[in-house]
């Protein structure tokens, strides 16, 4: 399957040792595809067993979380933290609270995080964590008791130079506050060991906007480089209506585009006049259903109950910002049919591998989440810097740094893709550029 036998052995071993973990296996496969361009050129990668090591987490913590619901009944959830790779800095990556959470998903996300964090240029290793706990429908007190119980297990393994978790699906400022409060109490220190904190106790300005804004800064570079163009007058379709989708809609509009569709788990809304995303933000801040609530204010809005149908809407730019595997090969064909030129991932691996292959064979420029959604973790890194310096930068200062980081990530992906003869293959560029820094650090630090 791979030109290089070494890669075939690695892939076979990952499949054999993790038979149930399809999301993780897919992420490794996608990464190994790019390694085929470089392992033959550098025998040290095999000599030092770099790939054997990089596909195995340094440590996985798995524990029981027992907590009391509002009726006094004991509830039990699984808790995890995957400390994947610390070669270039402390483990860094979000916590996901969602019923779909399992080890395969967290390993896939943690693996991606290694290269994403490396691409930001900041000293952060890769990690991910979470629980099958569903915050939806829980009271604030229940969420607090759950978060406290989670942190009571995890705090031994965290620290500003060890592991610094952040948010992800189902884990926002409320959860970060409860987790951080408990960490502080148990550890008797205020080093800011979680990012995504509230602004009154060490959070960074622009963190809320960072992933969506960063995505648009990245797409701006794609438009400029590949089409000598800008966002002005472009039709944009954005899936999801959570944190990433919302602020991607805000920034794309600010840059001159029209966002014509958004979605959630129950379906999509579509408007030729452009979506009123401020209203979407209001709906979602009240945890409402997109279609039900949006139609109350705009009853003539076109809509549908299958979220996949959002990809049938004519657009120049598609930004999948909801969840993994939400855009398949059939969706990719629909996008092509309707003239889409750019697909840029705001979520983590929302596009299935055969959809990505189809994009590259059909002249749609694609960027992988590990590059284009790195704005969130980049500002998390900036939050760590501000905490360490006991400083707080302004919104504009952080936004400026975010933009510069996203431009640098694009540059390093693009230049690497050019170097290996595939200028439109940003996945190749991201994987190789992200890997080389981690590889260098692993080699320098010896066998540990």
- Catalytic residue set: 128
Site string for ligand NDP, 409-428 (x = CB under 6 A): --------------------
288 or 423, CB closer to ligand NDP?
288
DSSP 207: H
Among 33, 112, 264, 316, interactor with ligand NDP by CB under 6 A = 264
Q: How far, in Å, are 39, 153, 348, 412, 431 from residue 34 at the CA level?
A: 9, 38, 18, 15, 6
Site string for ligand NDP, 47-86 (x = CB under 6 A): ----------------------------------------
* Structure-block tokens of residue 195: 């990012």
Report if residue 376 touches ligand NDP, rule: CB under 6 A. yes
Site string for ligand NDP, 141-160 (x = CB under 6 A): --------------------
Stretch in the footprint of ligand NDP (CB under 6 A) among 120-128, 318-326, 352-360, 406-414: 318-326
Report if residue 209 touches ligand NDP, rule: CB under 6 A. no
Report if residue 175 touches ligand NDP, rule: CB under 6 A. no
243 or 271, CB closer to ligand NDP?
243
368 or 376, CB closer to ligand NDP?
376
Report if residue 326 touches ligand NDP, rule: CB under 6 A. yes
- Name the residue among 267, 268, 248 with its Cα closest to residue 259: 248
Is residue 11 within 8 Å of residue 29, measured between CB atoms? yes
Q: CB neighbours of 75 closer than 8 A, spacing ≥ 6?
A: 66, 67, 68, 69, 146
DSSP 307: G
Report if residue 177 touches ligand NDP, rule: CB under 6 A. no
Is residue 296 within 8 Å of residue 283, measured between CB atoms? no
Helix then strand then coil, in percent of the chain rounded to 5, is: 50, 15, 30
What's the min distance (Å) between Cβ of 211 and ligand NDP?
4
DSSP 326: -
What's the min distance (Å) between Cβ of 268 and ligand NDP?
8
Report if residue 243 touches ligand NDP, rule: CB under 6 A. yes
CA atoms of 331 and 320, how far apart (whole Å): 11
What's the min distance (Å) between Cβ of 263 and ligand NDP?
5
Q: CB neighbours of 188 closer than 8 A, spacing ≥ 6?
A: none
Among 348, 372, 412, 427, interactor with ligand NDP by CB under 6 A = 348
Report if residue 120 touches ligand NDP, rule: CB under 6 A. no
Helix H or strand E segment including 216: helix 207-227
CA atoms of 135 and 157, how far apart (whole Å): 24
What's the min distance (Å) between Cβ of 195 and ligand NDP?
10
Helix H or strand E segment including 334: helix 329-337
Report if residue 240 touches ligand NDP, rule: CB under 6 A. yes
Q: How far, in Å, are 129, 139, 148 from residue 136 at the CA level?
A: 18, 9, 17
Report if residue 322 touches ligand NDP, rule: CB under 6 A. yes
CA atoms of 250 and 293, how far apart (whole Å): 19
170 or 368, CB closer to ligand NDP?
170
What is the binding site for ligand NDP (CB under 6 A)? 168-170, 211, 239-245, 263-266, 307, 321-323, 326, 346-348, 373, 376
């Amino acid at each position: 399957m791979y030109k290089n036998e070494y890669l075939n052995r690695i892939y076979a071993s990952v499949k054999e040792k993790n038979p149930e973990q399809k999301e993780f296996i897919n992420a490794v496969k996608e990464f190994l595809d790019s390694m085929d361009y470089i392992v033959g050129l550098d025998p040290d990668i095999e000599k030092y067993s770099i790939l054997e090591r990089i596909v195995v987490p340094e440590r996985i913590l798995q524990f029981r979380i027992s907590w009391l619901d509002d009726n006094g009944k004991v509830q039990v959830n699984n808790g995890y933290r995957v400390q994947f790779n610390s070669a270039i800095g402390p483990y860094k990556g979000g916590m996901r609270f969602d019923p779909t959470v399992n080890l395969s998903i967290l390993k896939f996300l943690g693996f991606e995080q290694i290269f994403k964090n490396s691409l930001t240029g900041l000293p952060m290793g890769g990690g991910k964590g979470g629980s099958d706990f569903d915050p939806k429908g829980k009271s604030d007190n229940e969420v607090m008791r759950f978060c406290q119980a989670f942190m009571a297990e995890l705090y031994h393994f965290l620290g500003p130079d060890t592991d610094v978790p952040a948010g992800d699906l189902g884990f926002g400022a409320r959860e970060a506050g409860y987790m951080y409060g408990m960490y502080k109490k148990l550890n008797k220190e205020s080093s800011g060991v979680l990012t995504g904190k509230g602004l009154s106790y060490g959070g960074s300005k622009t963190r809320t906007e960072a992933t969506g804004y960063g995505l648009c800064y990245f797409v701006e570079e794609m438009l400029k480089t590949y089409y000598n163009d800008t966002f002005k007058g472009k039709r944009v379709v954005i899936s999801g209506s959570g944190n990433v989708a919302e602020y991607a809609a805000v920034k794309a509009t600010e840059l001159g585009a029209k966002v014509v569709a958004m979605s959630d788990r129950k379906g999509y809304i579509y408007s030729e006049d452009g979506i009123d995303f401020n209203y979407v933000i209001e709906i979602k801040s009240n945890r409402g259903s997109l279609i039900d609530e949006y139609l109350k204010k705009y009853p003539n809005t076109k809509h549908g109950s299958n979220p996949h149908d959002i990809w049938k809407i004519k657009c120049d730019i598609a930004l999948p910002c909801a969840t993994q595997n939400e855009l398949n090969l059939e969706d990719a064909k629909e996008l092509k049919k309707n003239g889409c030129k750019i697909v840029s991932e705001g979520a983590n691996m929302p596009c299935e591998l055969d959809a990505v292959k189809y994009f590259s064979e059909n002249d749609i420029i694609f960027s992988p989440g590990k590059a284009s959604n790195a704005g969130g973790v980049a500002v998390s890194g900036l939050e760590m810097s501000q905490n360490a310096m006991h400083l707080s930068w302004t919104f504009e200062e952080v936004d400026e740094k975010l933009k510069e980081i996203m431009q640098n990530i694009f540059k390093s992906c693009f230049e690497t893709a050019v170097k290996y003869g595939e200028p439109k293959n940003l996945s190749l560029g991201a994987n190789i550029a992200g890997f080389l820094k981690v590889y260098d650090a692993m080699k320098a630090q010896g066998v540990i």
